[in-house]
A and B are shown apart, each in its own frame.
Chain A
Amino acid sequence: MQEEIKIEFKDTNFWYNSKQILVGINLKIYSNKITALIGPSGCGKSTLLRCINRMNDLIPISKIDGKLLYNNENIYEKDTDVIELRKEIGMVFQKPNPFPMSIFDNVAYGLRIQNMKDKNKIKQIVKESLEKADLWDEVKDRLNLSAFRLSGGQQQRLCIARSLAINPEVVLLDEPCSALDPLATAKIESLLRKLKNERTIIIVTHNMHQAKRISDYTCYLLNGKVIEYSGTAEMFDNPKNKLTKDYINGEFG
């Protein structure tokens, strides 16, 4: 089956404060699949993820070269509209980071900054987004409650709803479950499986079981290099590289 390439790294290097974090990354991310990035702490998986929505731009002492294609266009051209790019590539962070405002306002934030004025339309989208994030039933009676009153798992699903509200094509998740208990994690995993029908999902995870459970493709990174990248089943059943094998079998370090 021919799969559509959504994002492609072409010889991408990334430096932070003259320390090279990513080394010659070549990687194809496929549409409507879940791709998991695994690897030990400090291997560059979060940095790699943050290259895709240019979140690394916020770090002044960083430098990138090579190409990063999104829908076949290099997003590191001078005339790239980063604001538009981030509307199409949503992100969910490691620690749930709801804004200190009501549940409703959190989800409506992305719509309002796009100057959407139609109150009914906003309400409609907020409801749909919360439904997609499997949170609607839990919060529908208390949308005006501060988002900080929700549990960690609910907060993380709220953050997913918030990013879904502006209808991104790609959702990046940076260890979204690392601060959550197993039950909340299970909920988010089943949610992600549902979401991939409409979107491309890239997830950084520390948890190899999680990668195995939910992803279609897995990429193993070590010291800023792609060590192995293949279908998830293939990687876990039959890793080609010894380093991958050691990591998967827990013999790393």
Chain B
Amino acid sequence: MVNEYVRQNIYFLLFRIATFLSVVFLLFILLYILKEGIGVIDIKFLTSMWSHRDITQGGIFPAIIGTIFLAIGVSIISIPIGICTAIYLNEYAKENLLTRTIKLAIRNLAGVPSIVYGIFGLAFFVLFLKLGGSLIAASLTLGCMTLPWIITASEEALKSVPLSFREGSYALGATKWQTVRKNVLPHSFSGMLTGSILGISRAIGETAPIIMIGATFFMGYLPSSPFDKFMALPYHLFILATQHSSPYAREYALGTSLVLIALIFMLNSGFFILRYKLRKKKEW
């Protein structure tokens, strides 16, 4: 008979190794990019316009701005619609076959590969609606892709509010909307926000859809309206790494990925601080 303490130690050792491995992989990726890419990062790299002929003479400022604009565009499109959809589906919609089908469809859409959203965006937003390879077309495409993630996460957040809060509210003669507004949303908001953050940060790192939409690799000006063309970090990085002839291209690609990681990290931190502030009020 194996001693139960020994058995316990073996299992925990396995879990510990798994944790160790995941941390090592992540650290390795991060350190590698940091080591190889940090060399090209300076003020000029971050704030200058892209110089096509001699890439050491320019920077990736327009790509950074493009990605930031994309993040804003995607947020504006998918967060409000996603959260409202989740509230409707979870709080108001009758639990019937139609609702269940819609929920299932949304969960399936969350798993559709991004390239499929890309081809849809190209066909519908770029060509049919004649938006061209513009910021708005890309934001709409990435927004569509992000929507199911945000809806799913927000639904989970709503479900996590204990039934007893709702019951207590109804028992006092509150309407459904009063209950949702005063006793469900305040307690699920931080969860919805978390889902949204993760959705947005995944979206701005996506490359396949914006290749389809037609992000530009080189433009000499910054986009000034949603209908302008745009550069974006992931696409820039893709071209530098695979198609550029400059001997510095590889180093610049790694520098660009470092900036992309930093940007996503900053986005997440900003949201997490906001979430922490909202959570402090939460007592359960």
Count how many chain B residues have C-beta atoms less than 8 Å from C-beta atoms of the other chain: 22
CA distance A86 to B166 in the complex (A): 14
Query: CA separation between A91 and B170, bound complex, in Å?
Result: 10
Tell me, yes or no, whether B51 is within 8 Å of chain A by CB.
no
Interface string of A142-154 (1 = CB under 8 A from B): 0000101100000
User: Distance (Å) between the CB of A218 and the closest chain B CB?
Assistant: 24
Q: Which residues of A contact B283 (CB under 8 A)?
A: 100, 146, 148-149
* Contact of A60 (CB < 8 Å), options: B94, B166, B168, B175: B94
Closest chain-A Cβ to B265's Cβ sits at a distance in Å of: 31
Does residue B194 face the partner (Cβ distance < 8 Å to A)?
no
Complex: A114 Cα to B178 Cα, angstroms: 10
With A100-B283, A148-B284 in contact, is A109–B164 under 8 Å at CB? no
Q: A100, B94: Cβ atoms under 8 Å?
A: no
Q: Is B228 an interface residue (CB 8 A)?
A: no
State A51–B42 Cα separation when bound (angstroms): 70
Q: Is A186 an interface residue (CB 8 A)?
A: no
The complex places the Cα of A188 from the Cα of B95 at a distance, in Å, of: 38
The interface bits of chain A over 88-109 (1 if a CB of B lies within 8 angstroms of the residue's CB, else 0) are 0011010101111000000001
Any A CB within 8 A of the CB of B172: yes
- Check if A109 sits within 8 Å of B187, measured CB to CB: no
Bound-state CA distance A95–B169 (Å) is 14
Complex alpha-carbon distance, A91 and B167, angstroms: 9
Docked-complex contact A93 and B168, CB < 8 angstroms: yes
Contact mask for chain A residues 50-85; partner B; CB cutoff 8 A; 1 contact, 0 none: 000101001010000000000000000000000111
Chain B residue contacts of A166, Cβ below 8 A: 172-173
Contact A53 B172 (CB under 8 A): no
Contact B172 A58 (CB under 8 A): no
B165 at interface, CB cutoff 8 A: yes
Known: A86-B173, A113-B178, A114-B173. A100 touches B284 (CB 8 A): yes
Contact partners of B183 in chain A: CB under 8 A: 99
A90 touching B187, Cβ below 8 Å: no
B171 lies within 8 A of chain A by Cβ: yes
Give chain A residues whose Cβ lies under 8 Å from the Cβ of B174: 83, 109-110, 113
Q: Separation in Å of the A206 CB from the closest CB of chain B?
A: 19
> Bound state CA distance, A159 and B164, in angstroms?
12
Q: Is the CB of B284 within 8 A of A113?
A: no
B102–chain A nearest beta-carbon distance, Å? 16
A58 to B167: give the CA distance in the assembly, Å. 9
Contact B173 A97 (CB under 8 A): no
Q: Are the CB atoms of B171 and A163 closer together than 8 Å?
A: yes
Cβ distance B76 to chain A, nearest Cβ, rounded Å = 30
Q: A87 within 8 Å of B by Cβ?
A: yes
**A97-B175 contact given A60-B95, A113-B182, CB 8 Å threshold:** no
A166–B166 alpha-carbon span in the complex (Å): 17
Does A33 sit within 8 A of B, measured CB to CB?
Answer: no
CB atoms of A100 and B169 under 8 A apart: no
Interface string of B154-194 (1 = CB under 8 A from A): 00000000101111111111110010001100010000000
Determine which of B94, B165, B178, B282 lies in contact with A97 in the assembled complex, contact meaning CB atoms within 8 Å. Answer: B165
Binary contact readout B35-48 vs A (1 if CB under 8 angstroms, 0 otherwise)? 00000000000000
- Let me know if B164 and A95 touch, CB within 8 A: yes
Of all chain B residues, the one with the shortest Cβ separation from A95 is B164
Contact A110 B164 (CB under 8 A): no
B172 smallest CB distance to A (angstroms): 4
CA separation between A100 and B183, bound complex, in Å? 8
B173 touches A110 (CB 8 A): yes
Contact of A58 among B162, B170, B182, B284 (CB under 8 A): B170
CB-based nearest A residue for B94: A60
A residues adjacent to B (C-beta < 8 A): 53, 55, 58, 60, 83-87, 90-91, 93, 95, 97-100, 109-110, 112-114, 146, 148-149, 159, 162-163, 166
> What are 11 A-B interface contacts by the 8 Å CB criterion?
A86-B170, A86-B173, A91-B171, A93-B167, A109-B172, A109-B174, A109-B182, A113-B169, A148-B283, A166-B172, A166-B173
Binding site for A on B (CB under 8 A): 94-95, 162, 164-175, 178, 182-183, 187, 282-284
Given contacts A93-B171, A112-B182, 17 further A-B contacts (CB under 8 A): A53-B171, A60-B95, A83-B173, A84-B173, A86-B171, A87-B173, A90-B172, A91-B171, A93-B164, A97-B164, A97-B168, A98-B168, A100-B284, A109-B172, A110-B174, A113-B169, A148-B284
